[in-house]
């Protein structure tokens, strides 16, 4: 009891004063005894321990000892040379186990119990031991304290390349001191699980998943720990496991201070953080930080109404930004890329707003799991994450709007046991699964999304009573899947269903000549019917034998066109009130590198150019709906170009001059050549029309039965001056 009180006193001194200068860590005091030598007196270490008495020293000369050692006497177990005195566990079991109090172990390399096996390098199930000057290499856990081990000192050890934790304190291991150790290339460097009031000081921790992991642990003190390529992680569903620690800025991640704030109600995190942790904090600003190459860049626990903006978090081992039981926070204009797990991870966190963030090249972009409700996820760019762009799991009421999800190896948006969420107006392209519902049992609304060029467009499994309509489902290898018969793939009449790019691939095509709930009244209504002479009739889109879209749309619901890599000859089907070229093309910014237009009226400079990044020589700065123009797309595959503008209310006019005119087609409908030319006589006013098919990369000459198509650009050869009145 006397020695325990001394140890508790040391802990109290460190916690209350933070003063470390005169504290030294010495071996525990035991009865003076005899020294037994291995292999001189006994060939095996265990034989020597069995022959020893409390207070003896078992001194082991250099060599490799293939055995499992149980220290069940209060002794000093000392190796001659830590590098060359090796205890090898042979691939299984505990290499060394301490079962009694007041043992000192020093001077060994303790190694080789096998990866992820049921055994440890050094297992301690007792109190007041000193473990110093050892190497713990290639074990499962390097040093493992369990069963309420208290007041142990672990100092000056090298704990390297253990498959799980370097040092693990597991369940009620309290008042221990971990100091001056080197821990590298383990899964976690130091792991405290349900263990409190420990002192972690002056450790050099590198290249672990987490440097120091505090799981359901309270009141621990961290001072002057240097973490390289790792950092601190806190977890636990109780505020006390977040806001009772002492972690000051002497702790560093990659040479930059850790800012651990607790119980703060305002303030701004100072610049230059290596890692930011908020515990029970409100109204704090975290701005313009580069929190990278650690474990978690920014972590919030039980912290509400904070503002996290313009931060960069990349190459963290686990998360870029992590919210844990934290509500009503705003995350905006942050970049999280190449993090080992998730760009953003929300757990039990609701009513947060994520807007204008960039999440790319992580394992997952955004994960909202376990009661993450009523979050707003809007205008984020989520692309090229290895697995999932956005996961909503066991969560309700989230609003996912106007985001871009592209190039994910598995799923762009996935809902698992998630109900009453709104997925609206997102661009979902070039993924394995576009939008996937799994065991999400009611009232998810999925509408106004562009779902294109995925292996599976919208995939619904074991998920009834969801509403899926007004989506543009285009060019997916498998447009849809539904193994139930109780989802709604349209919004009834007259609202309608979805636009399906493959609706009717016969030569007849899909037509809209009728209206009404049964599509049997003459006159179009934007819903597909066959246009059969003498009457119409509903023509549903068949998803499977018991799922269908009863009112598929004849045209897409959004203003967009699909561009191919290389040169595309296009025009704008809406009036461009804002004609600035960069503004008009802003939805594909970064995906094109050149635009050009042939101006027949400028005989001295017929071709006008805009080249991205060219500092001089550009002379094309505005484009409008009367112009046809070339645009060069750099992105492979299909590029979705969203265009804005005002709908035509009257015919538009284009002046044609003798020779080749490069013009647009400012109309809302496809028309055959004669109807579209309207007031222009072919071949007297115009004698040739060309367009370019970028899909097959060839020129096409328009014949009398060919159609002018919305969004295409044309070369029109005029024989004289004339004005083309283009019908809307």
Strand stretches in 310-455, DSSP E: 312-314, 319-324, 330-332, 335-337, 342-347, 353-355, 358-360, 364-369, 376-378, 381-383, 388-393, 399-401, 404-406, 411-416, 422-424, 427-429, 433-438, 445-447, 450-452
Q: State the pLDDT at residue 24.
A: 43
Q: 29 pLDDT exceeds 70?
A: no
What does the pLDDT read at residue 536? Answer: 58
Q: Which two tokens stand for residue 520?
A: 């049997």
pLDDT reported for residue 292: 98
State residue 501's pLDDT score: 86
> Over 90: is that where the pLDDT of 297 sits?
yes
Residue 605's Cβ-count burial label (10 Å; 0-12, 13-18, 19+) is exposed
For tokens 């119990």, the residue is 113
Beta bridge partners of 699: 692
Rounded to whole angstroms, how far apart are CA atoms 262 and 242? Answer: 8
**Is the pLDDT confidence value at 538 over 80?**
no
Which pLDDT band, with edges at 50, 70 and 90, does 513 fall under? Answer: confident
Strand partners, 86: 64, 109
pLDDT of residue 638: 75
Residue with tokens 């409390």: 54
Distance set, CA 329 to CA 324, 365, 373, 578 (Å): 11, 18, 13, 35
pLDDT (0 to 100) of residue 670: 83
In the 3-class helix/strand/coil scheme, how is 515-551 assigned residue by residue? ECCCCCEECCCCECECCCCCCCCECCEEEECCEEECC
In whole angstroms, what is the distance from residue 105 CA to residue 28 CA? 10
Kindly list the distances between the CA atom of residue 247 and the CA atoms of 483, 597, 629, in Å, as whole numbers in the listed order: 52, 62, 61
- Integer Cα distance of 706 and 725 in angstroms: 19
- Residues 663-688: b if buried by 16+ CB within 10 A, e if exposed: bbbbbeeebebeebbeebeeeebbee
Residue 78 — very low, low, confident or very high, per pLDDT cuts 50/70/90?
A: very high
What confidence score (pLDDT) does residue 695 get? 79
Which pLDDT score is estimated for 531? Answer: 46
Asked if the model's pLDDT at residue 23 lies above 50, the reply is no
CA of residue 469 relative to chain centroid, distance = 27
Does 14 score more than 90 pLDDT?
Answer: no
Mean pLDDT of the 486-499 span:
94
pLDDT recorded at residue 11? 44
- 551 pLDDT band, cuts 50/70/90, is very high
Residues 6+ apart with CB under 8 A from 532: none
Q: Are 725 and 651 in contact, with CB atoms under 8 Å apart?
A: yes
Query: Alpha-carbon distance 648 to 625, whole Å?
Result: 10
Nearest to 248, CA basis, from 207, 277, 282: 277
| Average pLDDT estimate for 462-489 | 95
The candidate with the shortest Cα–Cα distance to 711, out of 555, 585, 501, 571, is: 571
603, with CB counted inside 10 A (0-12, 13-18, 19+), is: exposed
Interatomic CA distance for residues 356 and 363, integer angstroms: 20
Vertex 251: Cα angle to 246 and 255 (nearest 5): 165
Helix (H) / strand (E) containing 240: helix 240-243
Whole-number average pLDDT of the chain: 92
Mean per-residue pLDDT, 300-304? 98
Percent of the chain whose predicted confidence (pLDDT) is above 70? 93
Taking 80 as the threshold, does the pLDDT of residue 509 lie above it? no
Q: What is the pLDDT of residues 383-440, one digit of tens each?
A: 999 999 999 999 999 999 989 999 999 999 999 999 999 999 899 999 999 999 999 9
More confident residue, 304 or 707: 304
Residue 246, both tokens: 């002492």
Look at 80-84, 347-351, 517-521, 571-575 and tell me which has the smallest mean pLDDT: 517-521
The confidence score (pLDDT) of residue 9 equals 45
Q: How far apart are CA 338 and CA 341, in angstroms?
A: 9
Mean pLDDT along residues 280-285 = 98
Mean pLDDT calculated for residue range 528-545: 71
Domains of the chain, first to last: 1-16+33-230 (2.160.20.10), 560-728 (no CATH)
Q: How confident is the model at residue 537, as a pLDDT?
A: 66
Q: Residue 181 — very low, low, confident or very high, per pLDDT cuts 50/70/90?
A: very high
pLDDT digits (tens, 9 = 90+) for 650-708: 999 999 999 999 999 999 888 899 999 999 999 999 999 999 998 788 999 999 988 89
Residue 31: per-residue pLDDT? 53
Q: Can you tell me the mean pLDDT for 491-496? A: 92
**Residue 530 pLDDT exceeds 70:** no
Tokens 């080789």 found at: 112
Is the predicted pLDDT of residue 5 greater than 60, yes or no?
no
């Amino acid at each position: 009891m006397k020695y325990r009180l001394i140890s508790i006193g040391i802990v109290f001194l460190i916690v209350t004063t933070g003063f470390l200068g005169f504290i030294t860590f010495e071996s525990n005091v035991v009865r003076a005894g005899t020294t037994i030598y291995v292999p001189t007196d006994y060939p095996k270490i265990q034989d020597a321990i069995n022959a020893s008495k409390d207070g003896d020293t078992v001194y082991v000369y250099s060599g490799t000892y293939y055995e499992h050692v149980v220290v069940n006497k209060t002794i000093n177990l000392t190796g001659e040379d830590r590098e060359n005195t090796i205890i090898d566990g042979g691939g299984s079991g505990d290499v060394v186990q301490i079962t009694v109090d007041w043992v000192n172990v020093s001077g060994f390399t303790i190694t080789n119990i096998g990866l992820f096996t049921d055994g440890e390098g050094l297992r301690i199930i007792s109190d007041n031991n000193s473990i110093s000057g050892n190497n713990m290499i290639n074990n499962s856990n390097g040093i493992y304290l369990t069963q309420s081990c208290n007041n142990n000192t672990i100092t000056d050890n090298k704990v390297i390349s253990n498959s799980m934790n370097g040092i693990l304190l597991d369940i009620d291991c309290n008042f221990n001191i971990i100091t001056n150790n080197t821990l590298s290339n383990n899964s976690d460097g130091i792991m405290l699980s349900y263990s409190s009031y420990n002192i972690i000081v002056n450790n050099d921790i590198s290249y672990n998943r987490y440097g120091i992991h505090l799981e359901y642990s309270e009141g621990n003190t961290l001072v002057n720990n240097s973490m390289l390529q790792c950092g601190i992680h806190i977890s636990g569903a109780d505020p006390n496991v977040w806001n009772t620690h002492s972690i000051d800025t002497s702790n560093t991640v990659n040479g930059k201070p850790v800012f651990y704030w607790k119980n703060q109600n305002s303030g701004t995190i100072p610049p230059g953080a290596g890692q930011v942790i908020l515990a029970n904090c409100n109204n704090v600003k975290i701005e313009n930080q580069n929190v990278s190459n650690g474990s978690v860049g920014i972590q919030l626990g039980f912290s509400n109404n904070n503002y996290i903006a313009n931060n960069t978090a990349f190459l963290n081992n686990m998360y870029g930004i992590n919210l844990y039981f934290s509500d009503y926070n705003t995350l905006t204009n942050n970049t999280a890329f190449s993090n080992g797990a998730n760009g953003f991870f929300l757990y039990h966190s609701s009513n947060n707003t994520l807007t204008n963030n960039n999440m790319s090249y992580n394992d997952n972009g955004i994960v909202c799991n376990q009661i993450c409700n009523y979050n707003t996820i809007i205008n984020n760019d989520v692309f090229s994450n290895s697995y999932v762009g956005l996961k909503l799991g066991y969560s309700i009421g989230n609003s996912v709007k106007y985001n871009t999800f592209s190039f994910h190896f598995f799923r762009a948006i996935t809902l698992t046991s998630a109900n009453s969420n709104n997925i609206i107006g997102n661009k979902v392209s070039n993924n394995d699964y576009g939008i996937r519902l799994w065991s999400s049992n009611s009232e998810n609304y999925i509408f106004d999304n562009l779902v294109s060029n995925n292996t599976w467009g919208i995939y619904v499994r074991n998920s009834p009573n969801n509403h899926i309509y007004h989506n543009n489902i285009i060019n997916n290898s498998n447009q849809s899947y539904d193994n139930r018969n109780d989802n709604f793939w349209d919004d009834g009449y007259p609202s309608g269903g979805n636009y399906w790019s493959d609706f009717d691939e016969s030569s007849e095509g899909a037509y809209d000549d009728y209206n009404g709930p049964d599509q049997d009244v003459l006159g179009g209504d934007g819903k597909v019917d066959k246009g059969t002479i003498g009457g119409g009739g509903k023509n549903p889109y068949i998803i499977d034998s018991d799922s269908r879209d009863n009112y598929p749309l004849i045209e897409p619901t959004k203003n967009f066109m699909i561009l191919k890599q290389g040169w595309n000859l296009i025009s704008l089907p809406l009036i461009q009130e804002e004609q600035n070229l960069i503004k008009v093309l802003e939805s594909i910014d970064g995906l094109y590198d050149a635009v050009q237009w042939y101006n027949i009226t400028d005989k001295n400079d017929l071709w006008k150019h805009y080249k991205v990044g060219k500092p001089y020589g550009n002379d094309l700065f505005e484009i409008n709906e009367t112009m046809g123009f070339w645009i060069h797309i750099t992105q492979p595959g299909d590029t979705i170009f969203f265009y804005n503008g005002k709908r035509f209310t009257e015919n538009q006019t284009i002046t044609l001059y003798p020779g080749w005119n490069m013009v647009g087609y400012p109309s809302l409908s496809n028309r055959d050549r004669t109807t579209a030319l309207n007031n222009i006589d072919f071949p007297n006013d115009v004698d040739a029309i060309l367009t370019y098919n970028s899909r097959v990369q060839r020129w096409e000459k328009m014949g009398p039965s060919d159609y002018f198509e919305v969004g295409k650009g044309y070369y029109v050869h005029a024989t004289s001056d004339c004005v083309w009145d283009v019908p809307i």
